[in-house]
Amino acid sequence: MKNGFPDKLLESRSIIKQGLYALITPEGLVNNSVPGFENCYVSILSSPRLGASFVDYIVTLYEGGHNKERGFAGDADVESFLYVVEGEVKVIAEDKEHTFTEGGYIYCPPGTKMFIENVNKGDSKVFLYKQKYKELEGQSKPWLVTGNANDIEEIEYEGTKEMRIKDLLPTDFAFDMNFHILTFDPGAGHPFIETHVQEHGAYLLSGEGVYNLDNEWVPVKKGDYIFMGPYVQQACYAVGRDKLSYVYSKDCNRDADL
The residues that touch ligand UGY, with contacts defined as CB under 6 A, are 180, 182, 194, 200, 228, 234, 250
194 binds Mn ion (CB under 5 A): yes
What DSSP string runs through 24-61?
E-GGG------TT-EEEEEEE-S-GGGT-SEEEEEEEE
Give the separation between CA 168 and CA 204, rounded to whole angstroms: 16
Closest distance between ligand UGY and the C-beta of residue 205, in Å?
13
Closest to Mn ion by CB, 21 vs 107, is 21
Give the separation between CA 75 and CA 109, rounded to whole angstroms: 10
Closest to ligand UGY by CB, 125 vs 180, is 180
Backbone angles phi, psi at 150, to 5 degrees: -65, -15
Closest distance between ligand UGY and the C-beta of residue 94, in Å?
29
Closest distance between Mn ion and the C-beta of residue 165, in Å?
11
Which residue's beta carbon is nearest to the bound ligand UGY? 234
Closest distance between ligand UGY and the C-beta of residue 77, in Å?
25
Give the separation between CA 250 and CA 19, rounded to whole angstroms: 16
Nearest to 41 by CA among 55, 56, 31: 31
Closest to ligand UGY by CB, 66 vs 180, is 180
Closest to ligand UGY by CB, 52 vs 182, is 182
